[in-house]
Amino acid sequence: MTQSFFDDPILNTPYERPARHWELAESGQPTNVILHHRRPSNLVTPIPPPKKKSKGSLQLDMLAAKEAEPDFNPTAQINDIRSAVESWRALPETQWGVTPTTARLLRHWRSHEFQNQRPFFCQVEAIETVIWMTEVAPRTSPQGRRYWTFLEAANAAANPDVLRMAMKLATGAGKTTVMAMLIAWQTLNAVRQPNSKTFTRGFLIIAPGLTIRERLRVLQPNDPDSYYQSREIVPEDMLGDMGKARIVITNFHAFKRKAEVSLNKVQQAALRTEERMESDGALTNRVAGELMGMRNICVINDEAHHCYRERVKEDGEKLVGDDLDDAKKNNEAARVWLSGIEAVRKTLGVRMVYDLSATPFFLKGSGYPEGSLFGWTVSDFNLMDAIECGIVKLPRVPIIDNVPGGDTPMFRNLWEHVGKALPKKGRSKAEGMNPQQLPPELLSAIDALYGHYKETRSLWNEAGLPVDPVFIVVCNNTATSKLVYDYIAGYEVYGPDGSSQQIAGHCELFRNFDPDGYDAPQLRTLLIDSEQLDSGEAISKEFREAAADEIDRFRKELVQRTGDARAADKITDEQLLREVMNTVGRPGQLGGAVRCVVSVSMLTEGWDANTVTHVLGLRAFGTQ
């Protein structure tokens, strides 16, 4: 019987160079033919076609990123660099052309017998590419120098004040491990060559939010779970030198400039002056004070697709509605992020910016073609590679639904069908509505996906798995999220006389109280506004009120777990909700019993919960 991609996609091991891949037709669909060589870098990812198709309908089943601008499309360069690195990898050690310290690390990553998690091939290849570009390419051949010419030109066109090098690694392929390798390679060389202009002991790591920032603490050498020791990234006899690294981990929101002296409007009028914003030096000192006094540090951007310089084009695409709002928000975040790096460069000097992302593409509204790959990308291990190596799950999307008519299942583009019927931004916009008034198409989608979730959970239970799968709903705003949350988990209604009645949630496994009105022993559904939590700012009053019961329950649970009656008073609502969110799917921890998360904002980016099995998107997404 012919092997099918969608039934059995894994062709390679994650620990060796991929040797086979699935052929894709011009339409972007797998032909079920296996090609016996490595997949070249490309920008196409297939999804299964819908079962319902009208004659002559357009092929809508391919996720294809538009090509980058011709002058700086890096795909050919990536494939050439990959080939050069493969040839270099095969050389005897005496011909590697790297420092003794680098050679020691390469031997360790390639051949050490790891006790726990052995690095994936894609992780080693990413750091090998950076090492080859840095230590080998500039002085080996005209070809190697040509790659640098291309890299510098791509940066000059898009980032004239900084030099960036991007690594594309599929979500789940382990970017944090690659960051640890980068830091180890730079630090251990810098310790042994203190006057080197190539290496540094200073690092500024920038994340898109607090959720990811807190997860990156494993990059600090003194952290109890430090990757250098727990994942054996560094040989045991070299661990001591890692303590000489200076590492600051922050979220890009910290780069929002503050006033030197805060004045209210009355004071400004009285003094006839405007607030003076902090200088580059003051900003750098506030965000990265531990690095002051160092020169030419390295910056590492996690989820680097959020960091770019907006390009204004008079003939650019005209956006409206949600697309325009998303573009404004993304461009402002990108401006804050990149201007922060530029401030650090002026103060301390930045030798190199290393970008890591599964999708280092320009976003819609950036001034570049949506989905065009960052021109400074030097390595690529994409989603198809990760699926074929068994590193990540094969994402499945609806191919049929129970709503008649149309070529493509409604559930695949649910937002297009229900977006206009949902409440506008702001919790007050949903007042007077009850969950049963949500669009029937949405309720049908929730019920259908929940039905599949129940089947999945039964299979997990039969297999003896100690945790439940997790179902998430990503909403457009807090008004919609509260209504969806109430429909799923249950809610309370009040009569004219002030009496209240609890209405059971429609999804039994996600109810936060039973039909008789009693609280469930453990909270099953979590309502979260991850965008607010990630910014580091206090959560809004309306969201705190909406999640008041959850917050109160988790405070009681925290006291139970710690035995400290004051534990609940020592932690803010924001910290508490972030702790719950970060421990979803982890038995014995605060979020371990949660089966459903109803969120605003993406939540999935960098959210380290590998038990998620079902995602319902209820907002306009900037990319497929």
- Helix (H), strand (E), coil (C) string for 158-202: HCCCCCEEEEEECCCCCHHHHHHHHHHHHHHHHHHCCCCCCCCCE
* pLDDT score at 602: 59
Average pLDDT value for the chain: 83
* pLDDT score at 573: 75
* pLDDT score at 498: 75
Residue 419: pLDDT band (50, 70, 90) is confident
Q: Is 35 inside any structural domain? A: no
* pLDDT score at 412: 64
For 326-355, what is the mean pLDDT?
94
Verify that 108 and 156 share a domain, yes or no.
Answer: yes
Verify that 233 and 283 share a domain, yes or no.
Answer: yes
Range of the domain at 381: 75-388
More confident residue, 551 or 461: 461
**Token code pair at residue 27:** 């339409």
More confident residue, 577 or 364: 364
Residue 307: pLDDT band (50, 70, 90) is very high
Asked whether residue 52 carries a pLDDT value surpassing 60, the answer given is: no
* pLDDT score at 109: 97
477-498 pLDDT, tens digit per residue, is 888 888 999 999 888 887 778 7
* pLDDT score at 299: 98
More confident residue, 44 or 26: 26
**SS3 at position 22:** strand
Residue 350: pLDDT band (50, 70, 90) is very high
DSSP 8-class letter at 612: E
SS (H, E, C) 254-279: HHCCCECCCCCHHHHHHHCCCCCECC
Query: What percent of the chain has a predicted confidence (pLDDT) above 70?
Result: 81
Verify that 314 and 449 share a domain, yes or no.
Answer: no
For 152-173, what is the mean pLDDT?
93
Q: Is 557 inside any structural domain? A: yes
Residue with tokens 């919960």: 609
Verify that 352 and 474 share a domain, yes or no.
Answer: no
Q: Is 492 inside any structural domain? A: yes
Sign of CA dihedral 227, 229, 230, 234: positive
Asked whether residue 609 carries a pLDDT value surpassing 80, the answer given is: no
For 351-358, what is the mean pLDDT?
95
For 126-139, what is the mean pLDDT?
95
Asked whether residue 405 carries a pLDDT value surpassing 60, the answer given is: no
More confident residue, 501 or 322: 501
Per 3-state DSSP, the chain is made up of helix, strand and coil in percentages (nearest 5) of 40, 15, 45
More confident residue, 494 or 452: 452
Virtual CA dihedral for 348, 207, 103, 89, nearest 10 degrees? -130
- Residues with Cβ within 8 Å of 545's Cβ and at least 6 positions away in sequence, in order, are none
For 183-212, what is the mean pLDDT?
94
More confident residue, 341 or 259: 341
Q: Is 400 inside any structural domain? A: no
Q: Is 278 inside any structural domain? A: yes
More confident residue, 435 or 123: 123
For 392-406, what is the mean pLDDT?
61
Question: Could you say which of 323, 355, 388 is where a domain stops?
Answer: 388
For 158-165, what is the mean pLDDT?
93
How many structural domains is the chain composed of?
A: 2
Verify that 421 and 491 share a domain, yes or no.
Answer: yes
Residue 427: pLDDT band (50, 70, 90) is low
Asked whether residue 600 carries a pLDDT value surpassing 70, the answer given is: yes
CA dist., res. 295 & res. 87, Å (int): 35
269-292 pLDDT, tens digit per residue, is 655 566 688 999 999 999 999 999
Q: Which of 149, 589, 600 is nearest to 376 (CA)?
A: 149
CA dist., res. 345 & res. 348, Å (int): 5
Verify that 330 and 415 share a domain, yes or no.
Answer: no
Residue 35: pLDDT band (50, 70, 90) is very high
Verify that 104 and 161 share a domain, yes or no.
Answer: yes
- Residues with Cβ within 8 Å of 480's Cβ and at least 6 positions away in sequence, in order, are 422, 423, 430, 618
Verify that 470 and 324 share a domain, yes or no.
Answer: no
Verify that 363 and 434 share a domain, yes or no.
Answer: no
Verify that 362 and 453 share a domain, yes or no.
Answer: no
Q: Is 516 inside any structural domain? A: yes
Q: Which of 208-212, 255-259, 295-299, 388-392 has the lowest mean pLDDT?
A: 208-212
- What angle separates helix 100-111 from helix 175-192, to the nearest 10 degrees? 150
SS (H, E, C) 445-501: HHHHHHHHHHHHHHHHHHCCCCCCCEEEEEECCHHHHHHHHHHHHEEEEECCCCCEE
Residue 553: pLDDT band (50, 70, 90) is confident
SS (H, E, C) 491-546: EEEECCCCCEEEEECCCHHHCCECCCCCECCCCCEEEEEHHHHHHCCCCCHHHHHH
More confident residue, 106 or 492: 106
* pLDDT score at 537: 63
* pLDDT score at 459: 95
* pLDDT score at 502: 81
* pLDDT score at 59: 33
Verify that 233 and 336 share a domain, yes or no.
Answer: yes
Q: Is 4 inside any structural domain? A: no
Bridge partners, residue 599, by sequence = 474, 528
Question: Could you say which of 353, 388, 423 is where a domain stops?
Answer: 388
Query: What percent of the chain has a predicted confidence (pLDDT) above 90?
Result: 46
Please say whether the beta carbons of 57 and 50 come within 8 A: no
525-543 pLDDT, tens digit per residue, is 888 877 666 666 666 665 6
Asked whether residue 56 carries a pLDDT value surpassing 50, the answer given is: no
Verify that 376 and 434 share a domain, yes or no.
Answer: no
Q: Is 152 inside any structural domain? A: yes
More confident residue, 368 or 48: 368
* pLDDT score at 61: 38
What's the burial of 42, exposed, middle or buried (CB within 10 Å: 0-12/13-18/19+)? middle
Please say whether the beta carbons of 292 and 204 come within 8 A: no
* pLDDT score at 46: 46
**SS3 at position 433:** coil
Question: Could you say which of 332, 353, 388 is where a domain stops?
Answer: 388
Asked whether residue 115 carries a pLDDT value surpassing 70, the answer given is: yes
